[in-house]
Amino acid sequence: MDSLLLTSLLYEVVGKKEFQKGLIDLVFKRAKNKNDAGEYKYIQLYNDVSSVDEAAFYMNKHIISIILPKSIKSISSNSFTGCMNLKFINIPKLEFINYYTFSQCINLLSITLPNTIKTIDTGAFHYCTSIKSIIFPDSLQVIKAYSFWCCENLESITISNNIERIDPSAFTRCTNLKSITIPKRYCYMMNHIFNNCKPITSKKIIYI
């Protein structure tokens, strides 16, 4: 039987959700740390896992994509540090992104932050050099120092008026920034928050 026809029949028989889950289970290996993951490129954590341990996938150079279940309530520090080939990861409904969680994930293409995040800790996305844009959720209150240090391809950021604290050097060496939307009360801190970027006057800044 033609493989496309078989796929179509299976899709009709088992239903959309079940079919998608079956494909995910087929492609993504279940693992809780780098020892379980081995050299697999596609990983999903177990559905009953509530946290990702400290340095769980530290320096794993094989992983391209990771699926985190909705049961995840916390991601410990350095969990994915140095996962240099990681391109895609979903971030569950967390309140806190720990320090250096995604540091040196140099191929991470994008970040979608849920509208539950309150704090991005020190160096959380340090040296994520492939990320181009970030829209921070309205829930975000704190961005700590070096959170986005040397995100050199980052072109635009949007920070809502609900932010309560942005540390100096939060966006150090983001040398390609072209568009910044930020609350007006931070205008006097721009050279400290965005130090070692191109001159602030060369960027499109929208104060809200």
Angle at 157 between CA 155 and CA 158, to 5 degrees: 150
List beta partners, residue 134: 157
Alpha carbon 60 to chain centroid distance?
16
What burial class does residue 199 get, using C-beta atoms within 10 Å of its C-beta: 0-12 exposed, 13-18 middle, 19+ buried? exposed
Look at residue 2 in the predicted model and tell me its pLDDT: 46
Q: DSSP states of 127-176 as a string? A: T-TT--EEE--TT--EE-TTTTTT-TT--EEE--TT--EE-TTTTTT-TT
Tokens coding 195 = 């130090």
- The span from the CA of 64 to the CA of 41, in Å, is 5
Angle at 143 between CA 139 and CA 145, to 5 degrees: 170
Look at residue 1 in the predicted model and tell me its pLDDT: 44
Does the structure show a pLDDT above 50 at 125? Answer: yes
- The span from the CA of 106 to the CA of 58, in Å, is 14
Residue 45 amino acid letter: L
Residue 23 amino acid letter: L
Instruction: Report the CATH fold assignment for 31-207.
Output: 3.80.10
- The span from the CA of 38 to the CA of 148, in Å, is 29
Select the more confidently predicted residue: 28 or 154.
Answer: 154
Look at residue 6 in the predicted model and tell me its pLDDT: 43
Domain boundaries, the chain: 31-207
**Range in 16-20, 116-120, 148-152, 203-207 the model is least confident about:** 16-20
Look at residue 204 in the predicted model and tell me its pLDDT: 83
How many percent of the chain have pLDDT more than 90?
Answer: 71
- Determine contact, residues 54/32, Cβ cutoff 8 Å: no
- The span from the CA of 167 to the CA of 189, in Å, is 9
Phi, psi of 85 (to 5 degrees): -105, 0
Does the structure show a pLDDT above 60 at 22? Answer: no
